[in-house]
Chain A
């Protein structure tokens, strides 16, 4: 399969020229046959080579311009497809999150389940195990709270944040992969159309096989990795917060309006009709994929913000606070939020002026 994406507009113009040329010849053949039937021309089958060339030229001179106008919308169609988002930018943005994973790998290291990369223990956590020893001489309410509420969950929360980064990175990877495959689909569409025109030109019926959209596999494969990996992420989300159920973490696959595009037809004009339909079907698939990615981002951020889907039986329903969609079905769990970010210690905002207030340490007994 050739890679035409670099010059979609040029390929589209060539395609329109071919449609016009072959349809003109098609119309000429119909006209010659009709003229022979009503007696205004002699039998075209018996013409000499010179006569064939001359008659075709006369017909083409008269009608080519009008016939070409039948196909000019195809150039506009591909004009829209020529500047799809750059997958490289999306993929490199996703990769720029990797250094964050190195930091969040915690005191004992961690594995990125989507790619299998192992991250070594992070130096930032080196002293974590020894904190109680260092603070042996620090006593009191604040010290007790810090030692029992803040230090023990720290590794677990870092672990959860690591997984959250992996999960939130996957939509970027999915979008990058999606546009990479979309470009390939556009390129394949041009090849398949040319092939259908080749068959018309050579007097051959269409081949059986049809063009399978590569984009469908793309998004499912990448975006679903952290959620359907058996015991990996689904289980992770299940145990990360008490309020999160396994089903709440599984995002459904994008709807699949059409997996295959059939570019064929008995005449060049018919082939153009199937091409227009294929482009529409392909765009619908892109929209489905983008909705899938958008919902996945929303569901993930909902989970991290402590909101869970209304029912364990239904697929997770993202909240749409920005568009005023119903959000009442969701339940909120602060415990889940604290699995991703520890509550801010009261000590952090304590000043000499408020230290003895009731919402800080209060007055000593």
Chain B
């Protein structure tokens, strides 16, 4: 296990929506917790919740990428902000394939579904009536389950795409 490996196993990064009604935190590689501003859940709708989750997914992954390069820069003693330009056509094809990986996750009760393309574009669905039927705690837990499943799905597909893109 490398320093980066240990760091990714234990890092904690958070993101909050611009209106500060919803936050998400990534613990380690895949575990995600979601929380809402006090009192928000009682007056919101299923669609608004879905919209918050889609925003959180994107913001959280951006924060995670920033943390990756911040730690890498610290390790190497020089500023690394991201990938360099691809050097071969094969490399750009491989990156394109990676950016188009579709990953999905669904909560155990099926109430929350998440999908992401390359972890850049996120969409979320919240089953009709969830906001009225489930407690805030149940909803946040379901969102976390869906996110964790989505990340695992993405990482597996990433391994497949990244290896086969080098052929």
The yes or no answer to A25 lying at the interface (CB within 8 A) is yes
Please give, as numbers and ranges, the residues of chain A lying within 8 Å of B167 by CB-CB distance. 30
Say yes or no: A208 contacts B84, CB within 8 Å. yes
Q: Chain A residues near B166: list those with CB within 8 A.
A: 26, 266-267, 270
Cβ–Cβ contact A45 & B157, under 8 A: yes
**Judging by beta carbons under 8 Å apart, are B2 and A208 in contact?**
no
Q: Determine the distance from Cα of A30 to Cα of B164 in the docked complex, in whole angstroms.
A: 6
Among B72, B95, B159, B163, contact of A267 (Cβ-Cβ < 8 Å)? B163
Q: Do the beta carbons of B94 and A29 come within 8 Å of each other?
A: no
Contact of A49 among B2, B81, B152 (CB under 8 A): B152
Minimum CB–CB distance for B99 against chain A, Å: 10
* Nearest neighbor of A202 in chain B, beta-carbon distance: B68
A residues in contact with B82, CB < 8 Å = 207
Judge whether A195 and B83 touch: CB under 8 Å. no
In the complex, chain B residues whose CB is within 8 Å of the CB of A197: 2
CB-based contact B162/A192 at 8 Å: no
Contact residues, B77-118 vs A (CB, 8 A): 77-78, 80-86, 90-91, 94-95, 98
A-facing mask of B141-167, CB < 8 A → 1, else 0? Answer: 000000000001000111111111111
| Distance to closest chain B CB from A358 (angstroms) | 73
**A165-209: which have CB < 8 Å to B?**
191-192, 194-195, 197-209
A2 within 8 Å of B (CB atoms): yes
Contact flag A209-B158 (CB < 8 Å), given A29-B163, A30-B163, A266-B90: no
In contact, A266 and B160 (Cβ under 8 angstroms): no
B101–chain A nearest beta-carbon distance, Å: 9
Of chain A, the residue at the smallest CB distance from B82 is A207
**Any chain A CB within 8 A of the CB of B37?**
no
Q: Is the CB of A205 within 8 A of B161?
A: no
Kindly identify which residue among A25, A33, A47, A266 contacts B91, using a CB–CB cutoff of 8 Å: A266
**Other-chain residue from A27, A29, A270 in contact with B160 (beta carbon distance below 8 A):** A29
* Chain B hits for A68, CB < 8 A: none
User: Does A294 interact with chain B (Cβ within 8 Å)?
Assistant: no
Q: How many angstroms from the CA of A185 to the CA of B80 in the assembled complex? A: 19
Is A18 on the interface with B (CB-CB < 8 A)? Answer: yes
Q: Once the chains bind, are B162 and A203 in contact (CB under 8 Å)?
A: yes
Verify A2–B156 contact, CB threshold 8 A.
no
B86 touches A205 (CB 8 A): yes
Instruction: List residues 41-65 of chain A with CB under 8 A from any CB of chain B.
Output: 44-45, 47, 49, 52
Partner of A195, one of B75, B162, B164: B75
A32 at the interface (CB under 8 A from B): yes
Q: What residue in chain B is nearest A2 (Cβ atoms)?
A: B75
Flag whether B76 is at the interface (Cβ < 8 A).
yes
Q: CB-CB contacts of B52-82 with A at 8 A, as 1s and 0s?
A: 0000000000000000100010011110111
Given A30-B167, A45-B160, A198-B5 in contact, is the A191-B83 Cβ separation under 8 Å? Answer: no
* Interface check B3, CB cutoff 8 A: yes
B84 CB, nearest partner CB in chain A, Å: 3
Tell me the complex Cα distance, A202–B3, Å. 14
Q: Does B4 contact A (CB under 8 A)?
A: yes
A205 B152 Cβ-Cβ under 8 A: no
A198 close to B72 (CB less than 8 A): yes
Query: What are the interface flags for A95-131 relative to B under an 8 Å C-beta threshold, 1 for contact and 0 otherwise?
Result: 0000000000000000000000000000000000000
Contact A1 B76, beta carbon cutoff 8 Å: yes
**Least CB separation from B102: chain A residue:** A45
Specify which of A29, A207, A270 is in contact with B164 (CB 8 Å cutoff): A29
Q: Is the CB of B160 within 8 A of A194?
A: no
A residues with a Cβ closer than 8 A to B are 1-2, 14, 18, 25-27, 29-30, 32-33, 44-45, 47, 49, 52, 191-192, 194-195, 197-209, 266-267, 270
Sample (15) of A-B pairs whose CB atoms are under 8 Å apart: A14-B2, A25-B163, A29-B163, A32-B160, A33-B163, A45-B156, A192-B76, A194-B4, A202-B8, A205-B83, A205-B91, A206-B83, A207-B72, A209-B80, A266-B90
